[in-house]
Amino acid sequence: MMKKIYNFCGLVIALFFISGCAGTPQPMPVDRGASRETVNLYRNMLKLQQEGLMFGHQDDLAYGVGWVYEDGRSDVKDVCGDYPAVYGWELGHLELGVPYSLDSVHFDKIRELIRITYQRGGINTISWHLRNPLTGGTAWDVSSAAVVKSVLPGGEKHDFYLGYLDKLADFLKSLKNDQGTGIPVIFRPYHEHTGSWFWWGRNLCSAEEYKSLWRMTVEYLRDTRDLHHLLYAYSTDRFSTEEEYLERYPGDDIIDMLAFDLYDRGPGFPETLKSCAQTVSRLAAERGKIAAVSEAGGPIATQPEWWTASLLEPLRSVPLSYVLVWRNPSRGASHAPFGPHLGNPSADDFVKFYNDPHTLFQKDITGRKVYE
């Protein structure tokens, strides 16, 4: 029996989606050739965001504070006894043809863990901090404002960039279930573009170039490489207005999810989080899209009630699919852990966050069979 008790309004909306109305089309992802399981995932995520907020964690099964590659282990599970509902994975360096990601996780391991997540009924989302195709630098190399233009059709790096997309497509095609069909994943490239710290950022390309980059990518993966198990997520950094959020939006016909990233950098975070979430949730509802907080994190070592006070309360009244916090590096990273872990001052508060009726974890969605 699930530990959550859903509110009446959310249940009514969920039943509406399940039963449908005569002559009313069911929600569909933007890829009209999407696999049955991908369509089901899309529809079930729309239902679930009316019932509660799923919790996600980056690289949750791969490593944590003081450990790497321990089968079945999770820092989240260590603290609350349950796994996240959503699992984030990073494919940066895949384009280089090397065996492991920029976060030192082997791609074979990521493939294995995506499969494990799928088998237990969890949801996988993929980000891609790909290297600068013009300069050869990292994703954070913003030394040239010509990168996006160079990879578009007719650009000097267009063919080279298609090689990047081919390596990505090969990996995505390798994500298979026992029946040999593709495991559905949420693909979230070119994120935080409202900032200018990645080569695809606001000050590094025009709005039209950014939109063209998105369209070229989706059309190549979907039409040229025949990938039909992807949901596509548009994800900004923090923003102030609806106009700013939509300035570089590539179009309803190629986006399945509207999302944003927001880290707690100081005073005003809860208010900004709520404001951005309300805007994104409303825009997503108007377009029939999923809404999410695609990256988040805060000073959990110094704010022991961060989970309930700073993260949950601002989001409680906003229909969102999930909130995903960034990774817990095992060692040597430039940032502290963003997820819960044993010994952290916020661990007890995370248990309260877990037990709150509004939050959804692995046990809450396993019985929902999101792919069926």
Of 192, 208, 243, 372, catalytic: 192
DSSP state of 225: S
Q: Which of 37, 295, 305, 313 is catalytic?
A: 295
Q: Is 295 a catalytic residue?
A: yes
Name the 3-class secondary structure at 293. strand
Q: Is 184 exposed, middle or buried (0-12, 13-18, 19+ CB in 10 A)?
A: buried
Token pair 């994120």 in the structure block, residue? 191
Look up residue 319 and give its two tokens: 């229909």
Can 192 be counted among the known catalytic residues?
yes
| Distance from C-alpha of 344 to C-alpha of 33, rounded to nearest angstrom | 45
Tokens 């003081």 locate to 66
Report the candidate in 210, 206, 227, 209 with the shortest Cα–Cα distance to residue 218.
227
C-alpha dist (Å) from residue 226 to 87, 174, 219, 231:
25, 13, 9, 14
Task: Output the DSSP codes for 325-351.
Answer: E----SSS-SS---S--TT-TTHHHHH
Segment 241-246 long-range contacts (CB within 8 Å, at least 24 positions apart): 242/279, 242/283, 244/194, 245/194, 245/279, 245/280, 245/283, 246/283
DSSP-derived secondary structure letter, 200 = T
Quote the CA–CA distance of 153 and 174 in Å, as a whole number.
Answer: 27
Instruction: For tokens 């065996």, name the residue.
Output: 99
What is the C-alpha separation between 102 and 59, in angstroms, rounded?
12
Pairing relation of β-strands 67-68 and 63-64? Answer: antiparallel
CB 324 within 8 A of CB 125: yes
> CA–CA separation, 198 vs 218, rounded Å?
20
Whole-angstrom Cα distance, residue 309 to residue 131? 37
List active site positions. 192, 295
